[in-house]
Structure 1
Amino acid sequence: MGAVLAWPQPLAANDAAVGTPAPDAGLEDLLDGRRLWKGGSFPAAPSVHATGHAALDAVLPAGGWPGSALSEILHAAEGVGEIRLAWPALARLSQAGERIVLVAPPHRPFAPAWQSAGIALERLHLVNAESPKDALWAAEQCLRSGSCGAVLCWPQLADDRALRRLQVAAETGQTLALAWRPLQAARNPSPAALRIAIDAAASALRVLKCRGGMAPPQSIPFNAH
């Protein structure tokens, strides 16, 4: 919301007796006389997308995926539910008409599974890339465009600078950014607003980092099936 300017109240008949400003009084005189007030700017509340996993939403400061930021999902191996973790939020976005873009996924999405998860396939778009560098560039452009509801990527050998560019692009385009990375990446710092590790052996999730609060020490149960 921008600055708000309120007009002074109509003058009463006896205002002249109490020092009514002259018709040519300047703005500063009106402000000093408390006949005019000027509002400030109020930043819009950041968007949040519920993950669809109640136990996880309950421990996240914002209550879900940060809508205009990069979130990382770290996993030790494929097939541990790493994609299913995002499906509930993606389903809601696609059903609302938002475009979901997958940039250079490691495997071609199995359409029936995505559809069964509630994702509108006509809103699902796949972007191929010839190299990891091209994939990062494509993900950044999709995020920055502001035309996508969510952008999913699998950064390979991405350094802090590359991840920061994705984070800034997500903020610029006001887009949900999800990145799947190997678990060993948890050893290094990241500009991502949220980092979640999947512990397949314990069927649990661990929040490693969450902007706006402390990461909970306890693991969160996670049924990958």
Structure 2
Amino acid sequence: MQATSHQAQLEALLRHPSLWRGRGAAVPAGWPTGFEPLDAALPGGGWPRRGLIEVVAPGPGHGELTLFAPLLRQLLEPQVDRCAAFVAPPFELFAPAWRAMGLPLTKLLVVRAPEPLWALEQGLLSGVCATVFGWVDAGTSLVALRRLSLAAEQGAALGVLVRPPRAALEPTAALLRVAVARTARGLGIELLKGRGLAPCRLELELP
């Protein structure tokens, strides 16, 4: 009898007009990542098609660019009249390595700018860049990150922000936050935050 009473109270509460009930929205289909285990773990079955992704890495050269090579091949196909921009990378992009990954060098743009956040925003807004990679310090304001997110939406572009580990403790405007690190077998991925995401860890074998 008591259980029935509690159930009736719950049903009455759920019918109350002042109660707001959230409804989960479907996540749009994403870009295939090129790694089946990662596709299976990501909402939408891949990387978001526009907006921001944050990649937390312990330092340069931990696979943060190799991870996105399959996506870049899709975005930079010959029939697609868009490019990929890299704003203020902390290293020189090695042309033979990019060529070996099947990427057209004529569609890769390196930007060295005194104001990297401004350059990132302009690249995302331009409509010319399918994706823009940027190396963004911890402590960057949430307002600045939201500007980048809005620019990516308006420019139908995907922004990939590579950030240091301490940035993982800060608020984000990104649709997805992941952590990467090289391992003995390939690349370790930790899915940290994202709409509809079940946080988990994966190890990907690199070609």
TM over 0.5: yes
In structure 1, stretches of 5+ residues that fail to align are 1-44
Q: Which amino acid aligns with 1:106?
A: P
Q: Which amino acid aligns with 1:143?
A: L
- Equivalent in the alignment of 2:121: 140
Pair 1:95 & 2:100 matched: no
Q: In structure 2, what is the Cα distance between the partners aligned to 1:144 and 1:46?
A: 21
Q: Deviations over 1:150-177 (max 9, x none)?
A: 1111112422111111111101111011
Q: In structure 2, what is the Cα distance between the partners aligned to 1:180 and 1:186?
A: 11
Query: Which residue of 40, 46, 68 corresponds with 1:86?
Result: 68
Instruction: With the length of structure 1 as denominator, give the TM-score of the two structures.
Output: 0.73
In structure 2, stretches of 5+ residues that fail to align are 1-26
Pair 1:177 & 2:169 matched: no
Q: Which amino acid aligns with 1:123?
A: K
Contact 1:51 1:65 (8 Å CA) reproduced: yes
Q: In structure 1, what is the Cα distance between the partners aligned to 2:86 and 2:161?
A: 10
1:57 deviates by 0.9
1:46 deviates by 4.6
Contact 1:74 1:183 (8 Å CA) reproduced: yes
- Equivalent in the alignment of 1:123: 107
Q: Deviations over 1:116-136 (max 9, x none)?
A: 111111111111112xxx110
Contact 2:86 2:132 (8 Å CA) reproduced: yes
- Equivalent in the alignment of 1:195: 177
* Mapping 1:1-150, distance limit 5 Å: 46=28, 48-96=30-78, 97=80, 98-130=82-114, 134-150=115-131
Contact 2:63 2:181 (8 Å CA) reproduced: no
Q: In structure 1, what is the Cα distance between the partners aligned to 2:62 and 2:43?
A: 25
Structure exhibiting the larger radius of gyration computed from Cα positions: 1
Q: Which amino acid aligns with 1:151?
A: V
Change (3 A) 1:53 1:168: same
* Mapping 1:210-221, distance limit 5 Å: 210-211=194-195, 213-216=196-199, 218-221=200-203
Q: Which amino acid aligns with 2:47?
A: W
Instruction: With the length of structure 2 as denominator, give the TM-score of the two structures.
Output: 0.79
| Count of matched residue positions in the alignment of Structure 1 and Structure 2 | 176
Q: Which amino acid aligns with 2:123?
A: C
SS across alignment from 2:192? strand
Q: Deviations over 1:93-132 (max 9, x none)?
A: 11243311111111120011111111111111111112xx
- Equivalent in the alignment of 2:21: none
Change (3 A) 1:48 1:183: same
| RMSD of Structure 2 on Structure 1 (CA) | 1.8
Contact 1:76 1:184 (8 Å CA) reproduced: no
Identity %: 41
Contact 2:29 2:46 (8 Å CA) reproduced: no
- Equivalent in the alignment of 2:145: 163
Query: Runs of at least 4 residues of structure 1 off by over 6 A?
Result: none
Change (3 A) 1:129 1:154: same
Q: In structure 2, what is the Cα distance between the partners aligned to 1:209 and 1:184?
A: 15
